[in-house]
Chain A
Amino acid sequence: MQTEVSESQRTARAAALKGFSVGVVVVGLIALVAVAAIRETAKPRQVEVATNSAFGHSERPPMTAAEETYAHALWPVHAQVKQDAVKMTFAGLAYKMGDIKRAAVKDRVALLTPKFESALTEINKLQPPASMRELHSEYVEAIKLYRDASVIMVKVAADGRDVHLAEAQERSERASTLTLKVGDTLWPGEYKPN
């Protein structure tokens, strides 16, 4: 069935359609602008990329001021502890490679015990922010392990039994795992790809 439509009806319908189309476009544009504005204002703050390394980059979110202060205060302790820990390991290695006698193990390692004690004193003075209390406890634990390792290791001078070295090495490796973890968290550029 066909319906007859007059010229004036057609003109009116075309005008209404045109108006409707313009309206849709205008509303669409307004909606677009509104959505863009909402998205822009709601956009999360870009996480800054810290570039404290000349070799590679870090994706670590920025530390708070309190965390920075803590990391800054821990660094000199950490730098010395790492050095002393590796020296302790090398006393054992030098002995096992036949480069030094067992008495020399004691000479070298006994010097390190008070240094680990001193590091423990220093670190106990630090007040970690709440976000770093766990890391702090791990670091304290690590230094205690190093100190205990040094005390055990010197016993080899008395009886020449490698069991002391093995016992000390086990503690030292546990401590090293902890200090490495803390170091990688606080100073991601600490060790370079090399």
Chain B
Amino acid sequence: MKNSMKHALVAAGLAAAATLAAPVAQAQVCSVWLVENSRFMGVPFGAFMPDRAFVPGSTSPSNNINTVDLPVNVGVIKCGNELILYDAGWNQTEYHKMTGTAHWSPLSKQIEQIGFKAADVKKIIVGHGHWDHAGSLDEFPNAVLYIQREELRGIEWALNYPHPRISAVNDSPGSCARTPACGYPSKTMDSIYGKVLRGKAVIVDGEMDVLPGVKIHPAFRAHTAGSQLLEVNTAIGKLMFGSDAYSSWEGIRDWQIANPQQTDTVQQFLAYEKCYKITGGYQNCVCAHEPLSYSDKYPLTKNSWVGMNGGRLAEITLAPGEKSRKP
């Protein structure tokens, strides 16, 4: 008995030593830029963040702003020779013409401003499948899409739900913001499906290491059924892209929910917590629609400039040896 115990301990020790000796993939240091694909203008603050609803006559900084302009931020991540997008913006020219949006340009053109071509993009990791985050996939034919299985199953579940008010993609113009199948137009879904059919998609189940130093974390129901975050190793520490699991940087800083579309607010807070844990605070959490983006008030994004059609860009951090692409 004693001998077998000794053998077991020796075996365990050897295994541990072998693990330590094994070559560990070195986490790369990546460069990161942020591109404003468009801006939704004049959105009532309370519709974006319920805790910031406008109260006429209020002097409280939390409630004295009527409307905000929401950028649609897309992450451009370069790790070695690998170019990755986090989220893919949108491309609906009729929408752009008919509604209160501004500063939109095709994402494939926008990244040219920082010296990248659409054909160079090898991976697109969408935080979720909504039209304004997965709407430009067709512009990047070489890119492999990463989307959570849970996201696709969540939409399908909703579509087949027996009650029409729940299953509707939208049941009347302008009313679908919080039904579970809303926000997924057939065009966006066809683009995702096209990627799958062409062998250009990875259906992700939970966590996944995309590259050394680049890791997907699930944030299910933090905005949609299969939302996902992206951890990126950089020279300024780890960054965590949140898409709409944390749409607002002020929201994550102040622990207030934001953009509650198909959101379980507890899960959204857990996504906030994940960013705090992995990056060591809220400063390195990258938010999709923060109104303060590209200003000193959201320090991570302050190194910014104005590009085509008034859309803004920010150079967040550079890997050693990477030259600035800011004009």
Contact = CB atoms under 8 A, between A and B. Distances in A.
Interface of A: 52-60, 75, 79, 82-83, 85-87, 89-90, 92-94, 96-97, 99, 162, 165-166, 169, 172-173, 175-177, 179-181, 183-185, 187-194
A92 B193 contact: yes
A193 B43 contact: yes
A121 to B, nearest CB: 20
6 contacts: A52-B173, A57-B42, A59-B100, A90-B155, A173-B190, A176-B186
Interface of B: 40-44, 47, 70, 72, 92, 94-95, 97-101, 130-132, 149, 152-153, 155-156, 159-160, 167-174, 176-177, 181-187, 189-194, 196-198, 203, 244, 259, 261, 289
A92 B197 contact: yes
B159 A54 contact: no
B189 A86 contact: yes
Nearest to B99: A188
Contacts of B173: 52, 75, 187, 189-190
Contact of A188 (B44, B98, B152, B176): B98
A193 B159 contact: no
A152 to B, nearest CB: 13
Q: 4 closest pairs, A vs B, by CB? A: A189-B174, A184-B94, A187-B173, A176-B187
B197 A97 contact: no
Contacts of B193: 89, 92-93, 96, 169
A180 B184 CA distance: 11
Nearest to A188: B98
B291 to A, nearest CB: 12
Nearest to A172: B190
A160 to B, nearest CB: 14
Contacts of B156: 90, 93-94
B170 A169 contact: no
Nearest to B132: A193
Interface centre among B160, B171, B190 (most CB of A within 10 A): B190
A52 to B, nearest CB: 5
Contact of A79 (B98, B171, B192, B196): B171
Contact of A86 (B40, B100, B153, B186): B186
Nearest to B289: A193
A86 to B, nearest CB: 5
A86 B169 contact: yes
A86 B152 contact: no
Given A54-B47, A56-B100, A193-B70, A89 B186 contact: yes
Contacts of A79: 168-172
B94 A96 contact: no
A76 to B, nearest CB: 10
